[in-house]
């Protein structure tokens, strides 16, 4: 028995030695490739590429991808890579991914994190490692006040979109009675609260729906009884489309108003053209045809679909980071200085960041879009105050 | 607490609750049939329902009915609904049979404990949900509006819509048909025999495997019907629509007494109404909290559900 | 009425089964050899193994290491899942109670630390981490007893739906109540006190030596992993001791045949309640550790699907066997992260694997011996019904 054990132990020791030597090989290989490629800087995308909220992440990833492709075509000798970190939009998966980004010294900046929830766990890690954060979609206002020194937001936050949506409801739709619903998500509730606050007494009722809810018959009955002129929905298209469909099915004529979370073609394909017609969608994003140059066409050529929500913002965000790298800011600290001081015109807006990383208020444009003949078309820019 | 709202809308809440409850009841039957015979929670049954919703979506798409189609005339609608029900019933029934064949039968041969069945059921449920999710890009799919909701008559002070009538009446009709099938036909006698005592039933010449396939198919068919009714009511579906509805339907089956057909009906309708009152009283988010609390309370006083477990001992 | 054993099987299945049988033989052979070893050797080997476990974050083991995501972070997650599996094993594996709402306890533990420790929450008095952890364990234990008191009188299948309901109620409460701040969540969850000893000269992420700086910081996941690993080891030891005590034997008796146990003088309700409370406490501890490391907790983490995965971890690994459930937890937490390249197909493959493992090995990958025997007995009875 003893002898057998010695054999086993010997085998184990041999295996361990092999593993160790393989490990040594692996690490030296890694060192070599890094040394060979003197440029080899990277930008990371951080957000959901799989799971229920994947489409928003894919929009952002493809926007950033396009920016990198154009940059790399110009700089064939010194390319920048895009690293994709699929967080599934989950706060549980995000921290190890953020640590992986922080630990890869070639990654200078991040386009993302895409959602506000994952931002709260990923940003402290990224920020303390000095990685430049430039989000193209996380719109929760609190993110800018958490003291993350490398945080930047390339678009307006919910505090600018919510009141703007409320002003549109009050001034343009001239609605006297508004019903406000939200989905209890960080984004939806934040937006709905802003709208409620700005509209004040015009809000005649409110209710909370659940994420993934599909049957809204009770809520529709309640709205029918309240008979509002307009309904504001703080939430995503997933609940928005079936809600809108059931709302119209029950004969409620009130105008449906929602934020950027519902501004995708899925609203029309999910609710039907008739039901979606005349709906208003607000978004701190510039309409596609206002977007300058060949972006829409290039985007379609690259990804096979039209630019979606936040594609253009992601394109701009990636471009700002790339401009910094192009100008020789190849450490995280230098790139952060560059982005913080950056001033320039992107395709969505004129970029200039405040000290806390927020976009300069003058650069924030909230647009209202309207569904016309089964298309989401720009209505107008909502005037400030 | 919103007592005024509830008091003013008692009948409204009952009518909408009964509509939702009918769908719960049809799905609950699937759980109850399988449990009554095999003493096994068929956790994957919710995905059978989900497959049914997508089958009806596909059928209507094949027939050229998109989400933008205008409401067709009455006779055509009837045809569309019947065709969709047929297709959904076949698809859901087949799914249920496949689950039985792949995930349950090999275990049954080894007489594995119910915990193991639960895990394969979870596996099967994950596979179905993820497969459909990948196919449809995890986006919701909209259905054509086949019935223009129109008020039909007033029930006390609640307005009753045609869709609600269609759902409740067809659910009750299917229940009655199933009840007849189980209690009056030769096959039904076989089901009851196996539920009462599988070994004796085998000795008396009942083919147990066939009876088990029959109950899975029956449960699947009913889930398919429920799926079409659900599509009529809600007008859209997603790949994970089954999960929450399945839990509610299972709770309904337990509430009424799992293994008891009439219990599933009673439990489904009751749960639908209770949920509605809960949502009315405490707000929409607390809908399921209230229904689960009611379930626990009922189980405390009647540990076998309201009507007790009695597929085997059904009165003839 | 065909005898299944006589049926010719498909070649592949047959070969798979034979392969599995050989694997089982090898494992039991190893077990035997292990117990034949002199005590000194065994202690030494265990110590070496523990050192390797603690050193894992620093070892560059190819293939095992996750490439796309931080390995230490994944190790921490795995440790938390193992702790959950050990706790759930007490309920499911030892006492034989099916708990589908275990995530409820996880959430209670996490929220306790978050609410009583974070400056962000509405609760006025703030407690340090060292107070929050026992508080979390105590509160989850109480919630376990509160849930168990009315429901443990119910039969097995009913218990499943009631615990599922409990998990869902906790989730809905987390999403909708103002104390838990819904999906917005609570930030600023406290971390344990303590500094690196001043002689540590290893450099941190920012290039400064670690010595003298606080041990638990956002930059370094290793201390959190060590903390979780220590908790796992202590809990495993405690559960193992329980298992071999009068309590553990009572659980087994209840699991095998509750009525018989009752007749033999085992107060089954009281022991089931104990199992529930102990399981809940471990779940709460794992939630508390998770929230501590995240420094943030919100309702999105509380998902019923996750709760069902926990049960899968226990059963796939081998309910009743500590090592088995550990393997199950590692599989569930680690494999999807290691094979991120399968992206959208991860859970589909996972579902298929669940079915396959359960069909070929209903007793789990590494079953408890007693349970394997029980299953074999049942299989012998099977053809009568088949």
CATH of the domain at A243: 3.40.50.2300
B95-134 pLDDT, tens digit each: 999 999 999 999 888 888 877 888 898 899 989 998 998 8
Q: Find the range with the poorest average confidence among C7-16, C36-45, C136-145, C369-378.
A: C7-16
A1 in any annotated domain: no
| The residue to which tokens 């200039």 are assigned | A352
Domain ranges within chain B, ordered by starting residue? 27-243
Give how far B127 is from chain C: nearest CA, Å. Answer: 5
Average pLDDT over residues C83-108: 93
C335 part of contact set with chain A, CB < 8 Å: no
Between the alpha carbon of residue B273 and those of residues A218, A289, C24, C255, C360, the distances in Å are 11, 50, 53, 37, 44
| Best residue of B7, B27, B234, B276 to probe chain A, by most A CBs closer than 10 Å | B234
CB contact under 8 Å between C295 and A4, yes or no, is: no
Give how far B251 is from chain A: nearest CA, Å. Answer: 18
Residues A185 and A213 in one domain: yes
Between the alpha carbon of residue B199 and those of residues B192, B205, B215, the distances in Å are 13, 10, 18
Residue A257 domain boundaries: 159-283+367-381
Name the residue facing A238 among B140, B142, B280 (closest C-beta): B140
| Best residue of B65, B226, B235, B289 to probe chain A, by most A CBs closer than 10 Å | B235
Confidence of residue A24 (pLDDT cuts 50, 70, 90): very low
C261-309 pLDDT, tens digit each: 999 999 999 999 999 999 999 999 999 999 999 989 988 888 888 888 8
- The residues, any chain, with a CB within 8 Å of residue A330's CB and separated by 6 or more, are A41, A108
Residues A348 and A332 in one domain: yes
CB contact under 8 Å between A249 and B149, yes or no, is: yes
- CA-angle at B300, arms to C86 and C303, nearest 5°: 40
pLDDT higher than threshold 50 for residue C328: yes
Q: pLDDT higher for A321 or C196?
A: A321
Contact between B233 and B19 under an 8 Å Cβ cutoff? The reply is: yes
Q: pLDDT higher for C138 or B134?
A: C138
Q: Say how far apart CA A354 and CA A332 lie, in whole Å.
A: 19
Partners of B155 in the β-ladder = B158
Confidence of residue B155 (pLDDT cuts 50, 70, 90): confident
A305 in any annotated domain: yes
Number of domains in chain A: 2
| Cα Rg of chain B (Å, integer) | 19
Give how far B257 is from chain A: nearest CA, Å. Answer: 26
C152 part of contact set with chain B, CB < 8 Å: no
Q: Say how far apart CA C284 and CA C141 lie, in whole Å.
A: 8
A77 in any annotated domain: yes
In which element (H, E) is residue B26 found? helix B10-38
CB contact under 8 Å between C304 and B243, yes or no, is: yes
Share of residues in chain B with pLDDT > 70 (%):
97
Classify residue C207 as left (phi > 0), alpha (psi -120 to 50) or beta.
Answer: left
Looking at beta carbons, which residues of chain A come within 8 Å of B5? 222
Specify the pLDDT at position A288: 63
Give how far A216 is from chain B: nearest CA, Å. Answer: 8
Give me the residues of C, 5-34, that contact B with CB < 8 A.
Answer: none
CB neighbour burial string for C143-163, b if at least 16 within 10 angstroms, e if fewer: bbeebbeebbebeebbbbbbb
pLDDT higher than threshold 70 for residue C330: yes
Residue C111's nearest CA partner among C165, C174, C183 is: C174
pLDDT higher than threshold 70 for residue A15: no
Residues A338 and A294 in one domain: yes
Specify the pLDDT at position B310: 66
Q: pLDDT higher for A55 or C331?
A: C331
Average pLDDT over residues B172-184: 92
Residues A319 and A372 in one domain: no
pLDDT higher than threshold 80 for residue C227: yes
B36-73 pLDDT, tens digit each: 888 888 989 999 999 999 999 999 999 988 877 778 88
Specify the pLDDT at position C91: 94
Mean pLDDT of chain A: 84
pLDDT higher than threshold 70 for residue A31: no
Extract the runs of DSSP E, i.e. beta strands, from chain B.
141-142, 151-155, 158-161, 236-237
A27 in any annotated domain: no
Kindly provide the ipTM of the predicted complex, given to two decimals. Answer: 0.85
Q: Say how far apart CA A274 and CA B68 lie, in whole Å.
A: 7
Residues A251 and A295 in one domain: no
Domain ranges within chain C, ordered by starting residue? 69-193+217-303
């Amino acid at each position: 028995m003893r002898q057998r054990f010695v054999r086993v132990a010997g085998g184990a020791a041999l295996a361990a030695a092999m593993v160790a030597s393989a490990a040594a090989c692996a690490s030296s290989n890694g060192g070599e490739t890094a040394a060979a490629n003197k440029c080899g800087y990277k930008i990371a995308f951080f957000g959901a590429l799989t799971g229920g909220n994947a489409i928003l992440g894919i929009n952002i990833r493809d926007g950033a991808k396009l920016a990198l492709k154009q940059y790399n075509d110009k700089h064939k000798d010194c390319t920048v890579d895009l690293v994709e970190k699929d967080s599934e939009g989950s706060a549980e998966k995000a921290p190890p991914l953020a640590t992986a980004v922080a630990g890869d010294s070639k990654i200078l900046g991040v386009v993302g994190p895409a959602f506000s929830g994952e931002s709260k766990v990923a940003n402290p890690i990224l920020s303390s490692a000095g990685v430049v954060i430039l989000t193209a979609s996380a719109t929760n206002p609190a993110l800018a006040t958490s003291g993350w020194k490398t945080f930047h937001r390339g678009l307006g936050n919910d505090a600018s979109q919510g009141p703007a949506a409320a002003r549109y409801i009050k001034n343009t739709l001239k609605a006297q009675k508004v019903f406000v619903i939200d989905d209890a998500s960080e984004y939806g509730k934040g937006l709905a609260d802003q709208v409620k606050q700005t509209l004040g007494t015009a809000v005649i009722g409110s209710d909370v729906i659940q994420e993934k809810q599909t049957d809204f018959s009770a809520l529709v009955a309640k709205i029918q009884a309240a008979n509002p002129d307009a309904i504001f929905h703080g939430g995503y298209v997933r609940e928005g489309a079936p809600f809108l469909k059931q709302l119209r099915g029950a004969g409620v004529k009130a105008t449906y108003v929602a934020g950027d979370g519902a501004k995708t073609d899925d609203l029309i394909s999910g609710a039907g053209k008739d039901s979606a017609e005349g709906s208003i969608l607000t978004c701190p994003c510039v309409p596609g045809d206002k977007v300058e140059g060949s972006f829409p066409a290039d985007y379609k050529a690259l990804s096979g679909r039209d630019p979606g929500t936040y594609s253009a913002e992601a394109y701009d965000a990636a471009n700002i980071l790339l401009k910094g790298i192009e100008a020789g800011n190849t450490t995280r600290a230098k790139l952060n200085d560059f982005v913080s001081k950056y001033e320039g015109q992107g395709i969505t807006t004129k970029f200039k960041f405040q000290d806390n990383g927020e976009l300069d208020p003058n650069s924030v444009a909230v647009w209202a879009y309207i569904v016309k003949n089964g298309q989401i078309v720009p209505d107008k820019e909502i005037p400030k105050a | 607490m919103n007592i005024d709202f509830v008091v003013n809308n008692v009948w409204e809440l009952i009518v909408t609750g009964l509509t939702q409850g009918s769908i719960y009841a049809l799905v609950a039957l699937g759980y109850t049939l399988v449990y009554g015979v095999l003493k096994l929670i068929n956790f994957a049954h919710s995905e059978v329902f989900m497959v049914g919703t997508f089958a009806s979506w596909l059928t209507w798409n094949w027939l050229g009915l998109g989400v933008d189609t205008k409401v067709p005339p009455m006779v055509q609608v009837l045809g569309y609904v019947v065709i969709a029900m047929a297709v959904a019933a076949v698809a859901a029934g087949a799914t249920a049979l496949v689950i039985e064949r792949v995930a349950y039968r090999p275990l049954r041969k080894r007489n594995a404990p119910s915990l193991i069945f639960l895990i394969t059921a979870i596996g099967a449920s994950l596979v179905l949900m993820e497969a459909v999710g990948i196919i449809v890009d995890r986006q919701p799919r909209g259905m054509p509006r086949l019935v223009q909701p129109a008020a039909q008559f007033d029930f006390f002070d609640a307005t009753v819509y045609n869709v609600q009538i269609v759902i409740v009446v067809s659910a009750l009709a299917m229940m009655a048909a199933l009840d007849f099938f189980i209690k009056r036909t030769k096959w039904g006698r076989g089901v009851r025999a196996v539920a009462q005592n599988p070994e004796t039933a085998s000795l008396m010449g009942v083919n147990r495997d066939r009876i088990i396939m029959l109950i899975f198919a029956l449960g699947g068919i009913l889930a398919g019907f429920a799926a079409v009714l659900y599509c009529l009511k809600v007008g859209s579906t997603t790949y994970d629509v089954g999960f929450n509805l399945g839990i509610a339907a299972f709770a309904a089956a337990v509430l009424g007494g799992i293994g008891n057909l009439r219990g599933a009906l009673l439990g489904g309708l009751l749960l639908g109404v209770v949920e509605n009152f809960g949502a009315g009283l405490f707000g929409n988010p607390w809908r399921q909290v209230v229904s689960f609390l009611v379930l626990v309370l009922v189980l405390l006083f009647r540990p076998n559900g309201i009507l007790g477990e009695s597929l085997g001992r059904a009165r003839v | 009425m065909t005898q299944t054993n006589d049926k010719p099987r498909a070649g592949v299945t047959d070969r798979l089964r034979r392969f599995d049988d050989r694997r089982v033989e090898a494992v039991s052979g190893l077990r035997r050899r292990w117990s034949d070893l002199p005590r000194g050797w065994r202690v030494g080997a265990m110590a070496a193994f523990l050192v390797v476990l603690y050193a894992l974050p620093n070892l560059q083991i190819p293939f095992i290491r996750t490439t796309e995501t931080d390995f230490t972070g994944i190790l921490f997650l795995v440790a938390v899942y193992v702790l959950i599996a050990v706790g759930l094993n007490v309920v499911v594996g030892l006492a034989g109670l099916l708990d589908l709402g275990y995530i409820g306890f996880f959430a209670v533990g996490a929220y306790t630390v978050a609410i009583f420790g974070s400056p962000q929450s509405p609760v006025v008095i703030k407690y340090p981490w060292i107070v929050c952890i026992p508080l979390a364990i105590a509160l989850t234990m109480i919630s376990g007893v509160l849930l168990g008191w009315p429901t443990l009188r119910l039969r097995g299948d009913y218990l499943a739906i009631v615990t599922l309901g409990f998990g869902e109620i906790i989730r809905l409460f987390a999403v909708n109540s103002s104390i838990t701040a819904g999906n917005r969540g609570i930030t600023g969850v406290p971390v344990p006190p303590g500094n690196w000893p001043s002689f540590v000269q290893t450099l941190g992420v920012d290039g400064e030596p670690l010595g003298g700086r606080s041990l638990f910081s956002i930059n370094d996941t290793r201390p959190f992993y060590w903390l979780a690993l220590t908790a796992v080891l202590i809990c495993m030891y405690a559960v193992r001791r329980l298992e071999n005590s009068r309590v553990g034997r009572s659980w087994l008796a209840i699991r095998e045949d509750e009525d018989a146990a009752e007749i033999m003088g085992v107060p089954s309700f009281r022991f089931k309640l104990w199992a529930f409370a102990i399981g809940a406490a471990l779940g709460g501890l794992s939630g508390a550790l998770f929230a501590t490391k995240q420094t943030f907790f919100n309702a999105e983490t509380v998902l019923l699907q996750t709760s069902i995965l926990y049960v899968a971890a226990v059963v796939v690994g081998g309910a009743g066997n500590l090592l088995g459930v550990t393997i199950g937890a590692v599989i569930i937490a680690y494999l999807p992260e290691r094979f991120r390249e399968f992206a959208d197909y991860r859970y589909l493959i996972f579902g298929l694997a669940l079915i396959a493992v359960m069909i070929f090995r209903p007793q789990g990958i590494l079953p408890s011996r007693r349970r394997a025997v029980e299953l074999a007995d049942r299989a012998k009875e099977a053809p009568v019904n088949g």
